[in-house]
Amino acid sequence: MIKDEEEMDFLDIFGQLDDPRIERKKLHPMPEILLLTLCAVICGAESWDDIEMFGKSKLMFLRQYLPYESGVPSDDTLRRFFRAIDTTQFQHLFIQWVKEWLSPEVAGKVVAIDGKTLRGSHEGGQSPIHLVSAFASEAGIVLGQVKTSEKSNEITAIPELLEWLDVRGAIVTIDAMGCQKAIAEKIIDKGGDYLLALKGNQSGLHDDVRLHFEQPAPTSLTRMSHAETIDKGHGRIEVRQCRLSTDIEWLKERHPEWKNLSSIIAIDSERLIGDTTTRETRYFISSSQAPAARMLAAVRLHWGIENQLHWVLDMSFGEDQSRIRKDNAPANVAIIRHAALNMIRQAPKKRMSVKRMRKAAGWDDSLLTEVLAQVF
């Protein structure tokens, strides 16, 4: 494949990865392992055996890109390689690749940050790994991820992830675990705005915001802005109302440690299913002065990460059922899945689900070529 000298494709960027193998034992060059794994995962492979079998059946296809003079690596070679490579460096290179390939425009958009436990990655007394991902909600693109040892470590992982990302002009949304002063300050320092969910972990701030909406002063009530959405489908009706207040000088005086705090939000949700009605009110703080309609949309986009990313990885990629579980392998293969998902989502539209697109690419070399052509 001939490319412009200034262009950097997938293998140029990921080829910067440090190869942990002993030189005399490198039967298969690292780019060949990475290309094989990426193609196999795009086409539905979920285990080391799957990847080896895919490579043997598609060897002539793979040789359009790289020599594969020694054939394809065995499942044991793949297993050892992905256990050994440095996850942090691999994560950095993934973020660099997304920036250079897509140059995603996040200004004015929502970047949702949320964690997911890879349930099948536990081994003996070792807990399953937890990944914190950044997701460009409108575009459906994974921007980056950080591995943590457990869910509680999201508090330390989120600033690390933000350090690598470009969030200038974006609204960064995080659930209540990430509602931390240091995280809010990091988002501001990186040029973004925060929209953080409030719960008991910030009990004083949460109570002040709740009381403001439950017992608003007359002046605050007149200056409060509103927005509403109504969704119908699958036998239910959901009504969401947003109340937004910027009359919060009193709150900033009580909680001066929250950098650039500009607005507080209450989202009232009512769900009707048959004869059953459920109601819930959630509270948020933000550094943005966007209108109520935009804030309501941003909250909805944040929860969309469950359907657009976590659910897809489980249902279309079998992530929770994966038994790749030792050393660095679970986190490193998760990065390959994110890369494959981004490529499938950006491929020419075929009116297919992600799951069907993976199958079709495995059957049809021309379709797999189209998916790969974006980055090779």
The CB density around residue 269, as the number of other CB atoms within 10 Å, is 14
Cα 226–Cα 232–Cα 236 angle in degrees, nearest 5: 110
- What is the model's pLDDT at position 148? 84
Identify whether residues 161 and 300 lie together within a single domain: yes
Report how far residue 258's alpha carbon sits from residue 86's, in angstroms, rounded to the nearest whole number. 35
Report how far residue 97's alpha carbon sits from residue 63's, in angstroms, rounded to the nearest whole number. 23
Identify whether residues 183 and 260 lie together within a single domain: yes
- What is the model's pLDDT at position 151? 57
The pLDDT tens digits of the residues spanning 313-330 come to 999 998 877 878 788 999
| Long-range interactions of 249-256: CB distance < 8 A, separation 24+ | 251/205, 251/208, 251/209, 251/212, 254/208, 255/204, 255/205, 255/208
Identify whether residues 249 and 110 lie together within a single domain: yes
Identify whether residues 58 and 127 lie together within a single domain: no
- What is the model's pLDDT at position 120? 59
CB 353 within 8 Å of CB 153: no
| Tokens of residue 135, six digits | 């997701």
Residue 2 — very low, low, confident or very high, per pLDDT cuts 50/70/90? very low
- Host domain of residue 195: 104-315
- What is the model's pLDDT at position 326? 83
CB 130 within 8 Å of CB 146: no
The CB density around residue 256, as the number of other CB atoms within 10 Å, is 9
* pLDDT, average across residues 270-290: 93
- What is the model's pLDDT at position 28? 94
Identify whether residues 134 and 250 lie together within a single domain: yes
* pLDDT, average across residues 88-103: 92
Identify whether residues 192 and 242 lie together within a single domain: yes
Average pLDDT, the chain: 90
Identify whether residues 22 and 131 lie together within a single domain: no
Identify whether residues 288 and 364 lie together within a single domain: no
Segment among 225-234, 239-248, 259-268 with least mean pLDDT = 225-234
In terms of DSSP bridges, do strands 171-174 and 110-117 run parallel, antiparallel, or are they unpaired?
parallel
* pLDDT, average across residues 232-239: 84
The overall pTM is greater than 0.85: yes
In this model, does residue 3 exceed pLDDT 50? no
**317-338 exposure pattern, b = at least 16 Cβ within 10 A, e = fewer:** bbbbebebbebbbbbbbbbbbb
* pLDDT, average across residues 243-248: 94
Residue 174 — very low, low, confident or very high, per pLDDT cuts 50/70/90? very high
* pLDDT, average across residues 360-368: 95
Identify whether residues 236 and 112 lie together within a single domain: yes
* pLDDT, average across residues 172-196: 96
Q: Is residue 119 part of a domain?
A: yes
* pLDDT, average across residues 229-234: 85
* pLDDT, average across residues 39-61: 96
Q: Is residue 340 part of a domain?
A: no
Residues with Cβ within 8 Å of 308's Cβ and at least 6 positions away in sequence, in order, are 135, 137, 140
- What is the model's pLDDT at position 42? 97
Q: By percentage, how much of the chain surpasses pLDDT 70? A: 95
Cα 32–Cα 36–Cα 41 angle in degrees, nearest 5: 150
Cα-Cα-Cα-Cα dihedral sign, residues 251, 255, 261, 263: negative
In this model, does residue 190 exceed pLDDT 60? yes
365 vs 122 pLDDT, higher one: 365
350 vs 293 pLDDT, higher one: 293
- What is the model's pLDDT at position 282? 96
Q: Is residue 51 part of a domain?
A: yes
Residue 223 — very low, low, confident or very high, per pLDDT cuts 50/70/90? confident
In this model, does residue 7 exceed pLDDT 70? no
SS (H, E, C) 321-356: CCCCCCCCHHHHHHHHHHHHHHHHHHCCCCCCCHHH
* pLDDT, average across residues 181-201: 95
Residue 124 — very low, low, confident or very high, per pLDDT cuts 50/70/90? low
Exposed / middle / buried, residue 132 (Cβ in 10 Å: 0-12, 13-18, 19+): buried
Identify whether residues 31 and 173 lie together within a single domain: no
* pLDDT, average across residues 31-54: 96
- What is the model's pLDDT at position 254? 95
Report how far residue 190's alpha carbon sits from residue 165's, in angstroms, rounded to the nearest whole number. 8
In this model, does residue 4 exceed pLDDT 60? no
Q: Domain total for the chain? A: 2
In this model, does residue 1 exceed pLDDT 50? no
| Tokens of residue 268, six digits | 């009232």
- What is the model's pLDDT at position 167? 95
* pLDDT, average across residues 192-203: 92
Q: Is residue 5 part of a domain?
A: no
Report how far residue 262's alpha carbon sits from residue 105's, in angstroms, rounded to the nearest whole number. 24
Identify whether residues 138 and 171 lie together within a single domain: yes
Identify whether residues 190 and 42 lie together within a single domain: no
